[in-house]
Amino acid sequence: MSKLNSTWQCPSNIAIVKYWGKKGFQLPSNPSVSFTLSQCNTTTTVKAYEHPGRRKPESQVYKEGEFHEAFTQRVTTYLEELAATIRWLKDFDFEIETSNNFPHGAGIASSASAFGALALCLTTMEWELNPPSSMNEDLFFRRASSLARIGSGSAARSVYGGWTVWGKTSALPESSDKYAIKLADYQIHDVFKKLQDTIIVVSDHTKNVSSSAGHALMYGHAYAPRRFVRAAENTRSLIEILTLGDWPAFARLCESEALDLHALMMTSNPPFLLLKPETIFWIEKIKEATVHHHLPITYTLDAGPNIHLIYPEAETTNVRKWLEEHKKYTVSTQFIYDHLGTGPQKIL
Ligand code: DP6
């Protein structure tokens, strides 16, 4: 009877060009571009016990040491979906221990880091059971990315450090809807290599629409066809901007993508308004700081009210001073300081 064991730590990521809308089986309606964070991580240990003759995999998930019913159900469904094509999974029971080092509801995609870590563990086990003919690192992460995608689309991008692209784009012949790819070092100008992301937490309440429900609202959405074209154009533009180091163009694209995402939610059926008054307050202050004080800062939003303030590393001192000065006008006091990171780490 085999017993397999693997532990990975995987960071979350923040999308600049957003994935919003699916097609087929967990494929994106448009390509997306993100950078992987450094400080906001999920650590997951998977223990797999062989149980030959089972028809489907069984799993139990413990989150921060406690049995977690809802996540167990999601992971069991995930493993069943994978087992339709990955036969070895059917013969195992899985015990999964997972923990996040960042607060729930802070506007950090926990499904990205959670399914990233889980997929990395499963890929490690798969390669241990059935070693491929060539042990190629690129193939390993590509496989992990495609498994992560089935659990949560944005997780496909979290298995790499730095900048990643998920979804087919004419700008990158090797890109795919099935897995994400990492942009090479030479494709990224220095200004975008050490980007900072300070999350301004204006609300830590659970959002009133899940991303899966949000994606579903794009079916038949009046603006969907135009949105998918625009996201594809923005993907091509962003890849070029990242190489050229064009900060003003980056800031424009970043804000426009953030507002597109919320505009889509506001115009869906039913509509959702996830922005809070303090989100608008900070957006206006960011605009003021860029226009009047020439601070090179920009922002993006996830499907929630919290702001990801993005800026180059060289501006860290100025930006932190600016944040502290403005904090007193709000009831929000929480900032989470993160930055572009080097990617997941194998612990065991
Ligand atoms: C707004 O990856 O959470 O964060 O595939 O249903 O798990 P599922 O959705 P998810 O959607 C992420 C949406 C987003 C934008 C992005 O990260 O690209």
Phi-psi region of 162 (alpha: psi -120 to 50; beta: other; left: phi over 0): left
Residues 180 and 208 in one domain: no
In a domain, 7, yes or no: yes
18 within ligand 1 shell (Cβ under 6 A): yes
In a domain, 348, yes or no: no
Residues 161 and 243 in one domain: no
Residues 175 and 229 in one domain: no
**How many C-beta neighbours within 10 Å does residue 120 have?**
30
What is the C-alpha separation between 237 and 241, in angstroms, rounded? 6
Residues 136 and 227 in one domain: no
Cβ neighbours of residue 28 closer than 8 Å, sequence gap 6 or more: 19, 21, 22, 153, 166, 167, 177
| pLDDT computed for residue 155 by the predictor | 98
178 within ligand 1 shell (Cβ under 6 A): no
Which residue CA neighbors atom 11 of ligand 1 most closely? Answer: 211
| pLDDT computed for residue 103 by the predictor | 83
Residues 145 and 210 in one domain: no
Distance 22 CA to ligand 1 centre (A): 10
Q: Is residue 80 exposed (0-12), middle (13-18) or buried (19+ Cβ within 10 Å)?
A: middle
| pLDDT computed for residue 332 by the predictor | 63
Residue 46, both tokens: 């998977």
Residues 174 and 203 in one domain: no
Residues 154 and 129 in one domain: yes
Distance 291 CA to ligand 1 centre (A): 31
What is the C-alpha separation between 323 and 342, in angstroms, rounded? 26
Residues 102 and 128 in one domain: yes
CB-based burial, 198-234: b 16+ in 10 Å, e otherwise: bbbbbbeeebebebeebbebbeebeebeebbebbbeb
Distance 36 CA to ligand 1 centre (A): 14
End position of a domain, from candidates 189, 221, 243: 189
Q: Is the dihedral of CA 217, 167, 112, 79 positive or negative?
A: positive
Q: Is residue 19 exposed (0-12), middle (13-18) or buried (19+ Cβ within 10 Å)?
A: buried
Distance 154 CA to ligand 1 centre (A): 5
11 within ligand 1 shell (Cβ under 6 A): no
Give the number of C-alpha atoms closer than 13 A to the C-alpha of residue 26, restricted to the C-beta side.
17
Residues 200 and 55 in one domain: no
| pLDDT computed for residue 205 by the predictor | 84
Distance 293 CA to ligand 1 centre (A): 34
Q: What are phi and psi of 318, to 5 degrees?
A: -60, -40
| pLDDT computed for residue 291 by the predictor | 93
125 with 86: CB under 8 angstroms? Answer: no
Q: Which ligand 1 atom sits closest to the C-alpha of 261?
A: 1
Q: Which ligand 1 atom sits closest to the C-alpha of 215?
A: 6
End position of a domain, from candidates 144, 159, 189: 189
The candidate with the shortest Cα–Cα distance to 80, out of 62, 69, 94, is: 94
The domain total for the chain is 2
pTM metric for this prediction: 0.97
What is the C-alpha separation between 1 and 271, in angstroms, rounded? 52
110 within ligand 1 shell (Cβ under 6 A): no
End position of a domain, from candidates 189, 211, 246: 189
In a domain, 344, yes or no: no
Could you give the angle at the alpha carbon of 77 between the alpha carbons of 75 and 83, nearest 5°? Answer: 100
Which residue CA neighbors atom 4 of ligand 1 most closely? Answer: 302
Q: Which ligand 1 atom sits closest to the C-alpha of 13?
A: 17
SS3 call for 50: strand
Owning domain of residue 77 = 3-189
Residues 170 and 255 in one domain: no
| pLDDT computed for residue 109 by the predictor | 85
Distance 220 CA to ligand 1 centre (A): 19
- Low-confidence residues of the chain: pLDDT under 50: none
Q: Verify cis geometry, omega within 30 degrees of 0, for the bond prior to 225.
A: no
- Report in angstroms the alpha-carbon separations of 345 from 6, 28, 302, 309: 12, 26, 25, 25
What is the C-alpha separation between 48 and 94, in angstroms, rounded? 5
Alpha helices per DSSP H over the chain: 69-83, 110-129, 137-151, 211-216, 224-244, 247-266, 277-292, 316-327
In a domain, 124, yes or no: yes
In a domain, 346, yes or no: no
144 within ligand 1 shell (Cβ under 6 A): no
19 within ligand 1 shell (Cβ under 6 A): yes
| pLDDT computed for residue 101 by the predictor | 94
The candidate with the shortest Cα–Cα distance to 176, out of 27, 21, 344, is: 27
Which residue CA neighbors atom 7 of ligand 1 most closely? Answer: 152
Q: Is the dihedral of CA 148, 153, 158, 164 positive or negative?
A: positive
**Domain CATH number, residue 258:** 3.30.70.890
Report residue 331 CA to chain centroid gap. 28
152 within ligand 1 shell (Cβ under 6 A): yes
In a domain, 17, yes or no: yes
Residues 326 and 284 in one domain: yes
Residue 283, both tokens: 């957006």
| pLDDT computed for residue 307 by the predictor | 96
Q: What are phi and psi of 193, to 5 degrees?
A: -85, -25
In a domain, 278, yes or no: yes
In a domain, 259, yes or no: yes
Residues 178 and 231 in one domain: no
**Domain CATH number, residue 94:** 3.30.230.10
157 within ligand 1 shell (Cβ under 6 A): no
